[in-house]
Structure 1
Amino acid sequence: MIVSVAAVNLRNMSVPLSVPLPDDTADAPSPRSRPALSPSRASDFKQCPLKYRLRAIDRVPEPPSRAAVRGTVVHAVLEDLFGLPAAERQPARAAELVPAAWERVRAERDGVDELVADGGPQALFEEVRKLVASYYELEDPRRFEPHALEERVEVDLDGDIPLRGFVDRIDVAPNGLLRVVDYKTGRSPGPMHEARALFQLKFYALMILRTRDIVPAQLRLIYLADKNILTYTPEREELDRFQRILTALWQAIIDAGRTGDFPPTRNSMCKFCDFKPLCPEYGGTPPPYPGWPVQTPIPADLVTERLPEDM
């Protein structure tokens, strides 16, 4: 079941949690590693197989967008915020974290300076601060300690279906109940588009089930732009069915990988796509198919990079 929760109601649902944070590390990426399945890559293939191919197999570079960079900075600020003692997680302190988070993003990503070339980063800082301020209307970060932040989750379903993803936050209540939280800097989807959000939530729930042998009590997407929250309470039988869906999806990807047949699909997201110059639907020609990679699975930090549609 997926439910939209207004901010005024969410404050009444908050549960104090108290669990220490673990350390987390990321491996160095290998550009020709075997693709894995993440919520973003699964969405790509369902939306347009050619888009999936160009991202996951060819790895055609995409220019950074302001939306993606803004979202990355917001995530960095919220991660840093939970690194502070609970009493220091005041809204004003969160606003002070923005410049340092921006500098980290600059150091990790090429080309982001061009996005703020006119007038410097101050306008971006204000956009980030506004979104972080919205977060305080949805949750009070002083009331709980996360169990994990930006945790990489990996599991191979049935031994040969590699699922990879990053979870923004995992909370564990004193009674052992587990909650998964993902931040979105865009607006919440309308009723006609909630299926994609539900797909992502089921994906996370299944990974948690297969790695921890526990069904999360709740999964939560926090939409900062319109201060809304979608919550999902999964059931084990539903997740077992969802695993069969992912198995069929991965088989379709493997079949396409063997033949190189990744057809383009014209849809409403085409207007945002950076691959239009390579798309036959728009008069372009894709590069020669490089073949299905056969090395070790690609690390989660490479297959799950934050894209504008993920924010």
Structure 2
Amino acid sequence: MTAMTAITTLTSSPPAPTIEPRVSPSRLSDYKQCPQLFKFRFIERLPEPSTVYQARGTAAHLALENLYQLPAHDRSPEQLYELFRQAWSELRMEEYPDLFSSTEDERAWGLESMELLANYFTLEDPRSIDPMFCEYDMLEELEGVSVRGILDRIDEDENGDLIITDYKTGKAPPERYALPAFFALKIYALLIRKRLGKTPKEVRLLYLNGPTMYRLEIHDKQLDAMDKQVRALWDAIAKALSRDDFRPRPGRLCDWCSFQDVCPAFVDDSAGEGVAAR
């Protein structure tokens, strides 16, 4: 009689990834928009192709930051144009070496960028502004999660009230759809309240492509609600991380997403080929 012994091999699934409890307003916005997008960017850190719009935004922000390093009477359109050229010279070879296929394309992009920068002076007069901070880097703890934000500019008005301004080189949304665009700015206001012990009076979105300025008054009840929302979002992220469950949320913004070729909402793995799932 032969004894037979059954041997069972146990396999365990790989441990769920862990991440440091530190996040930016942009990544929180990604999770709200689409958990899968958050995973691609924040956890897997997949590369994304550089775009002419991203390059314009980076160079314009640097130029505007440097504009406010000049004496007030020197903050002219011509100075801003020159600062943009300098910023692009610094960024071009290191961050965007292969962005343009020809000198003509790069020149056309530069001229269009100058037109957008000219619009800035129709929104506000930089000679009359004395910023408290430009490109203000903050990292604050919000009960279990650290939030890092870089504010374009913070001003103090004649009454001592704080105003947060964010520059945008993209096109302004219609006013009825503008409120979601303030999501990150309300988090910035929350961080400012925690760091400086003072609630900002107002946040502003300056869209150079328009040009358009949207303004939103800020109050403590609003920031208290945002504090709860940030922590709730982080709790949701932590739960999704423990389950490795970052489901895509298809919508209109998918048309501008650079991850379509790897997103489960667009790729049917069982078929072995890319299939639109929307």
Same fold by TM-score greater than 0.5? yes
Q: Deviation string for 1:45-94 (max 9, x for gaps)?
A: 11111110110011011111111111111111111111111111111221
1:65 is aligned with what amino acid? T
Tell whether 2:254 aligns with 1:270. Answer: yes
Question: Which residue in 1 is equivalent to 2:152?
Answer: 168
Q: What fraction of aligned residue pairs are identical, expressed as a percent?
A: 37
1:156 aligns with 2:144: no
Instruction: Check the 8 A contact 2:248/2:264 in 1, yes or no.
Output: yes
Deviation of 1:107 after TM superposition, in Å, equals 4.8
Q: Which amino acid aligns with 2:62?
A: A
* Map of 2:127 onto structure 1: 142
Partner Cα separation in structure 1 for residue 268 and residue 93 of structure 2: 33
The alignment status of 1:73 with 2:59, answered yes or no, reads yes
Aligned twin of 1:180:
164
Alignment partner, residue 92 of structure 1: 78
2:43 to 37, 57, 61: 57
1:169 and 1:226 map into 2 onto residues whose CA distance is 20
Task: Give the unaligned 5+ runs of structure 1.
Answer: 1-31, 286-311
Instruction: Name the Cα RMSD after superposition.
Output: 1.7
Q: CA deviation at 1:105?
A: 1.7
Task: Find out whether 1:129 has 2:114 as its counterpart.
Answer: yes
Distance 1:196 1:240, change over 3 A: same
Cα deviation, 1:259-296, whole Å, max 9, x if unaligned, reads: 111111111111111111111111166xxxxxxxxxxx
Q: Is the 8 A contact 1:37 1:162 kept in 2?
A: yes
CA distance in 2 between counterparts of 1:165 and 1:106 reads 25
1:6-27 CA distance string (max 9 Å, x none): xxxxxxxxxxxxxxxxxxxxxx
Structure 2, unaligned stretches of length 5 or more? Answer: 1-17, 270-278
Letter in 2 for 1:69: A
Q: Secondary structure in 2 aligned to 1:184? A: strand
Matching residue within 191, 196, 215 for 1:231: 215
**Cα distance in structure 1, aligned partners of 2:213 and 2:262:** 37
Compared CA separation, residues 261 and 181, structure 1 to 2 (3 A): same
Output the CA distance in 2 between the equivalents of 1:194 and 1:146.
25
Q: Give the Cα–Cα distance (whole angstroms) in 2 for the partners of residues 274 and 35 of structure 1.
A: 26
Q: Which one of the candidate residues 206, 210, 216 is aligned to 2:200?
A: 216
Alignment: residue pair count:
251
* The one of 257, 266, 271 aligned to 1:282: 266
Q: What residue is the counterpart of 1:41 in the other structure? A: 27
What per-residue deviation string (whole Å, max 9, x for no partner) do you get for residues 109-134 of structure 1?
A: 2xx23222222532222122111100
Q: Using a 3 Å threshold, how does the CA distance of structure 1 residues 84 and 274 change in structure 2: closer, same or farther?
A: same
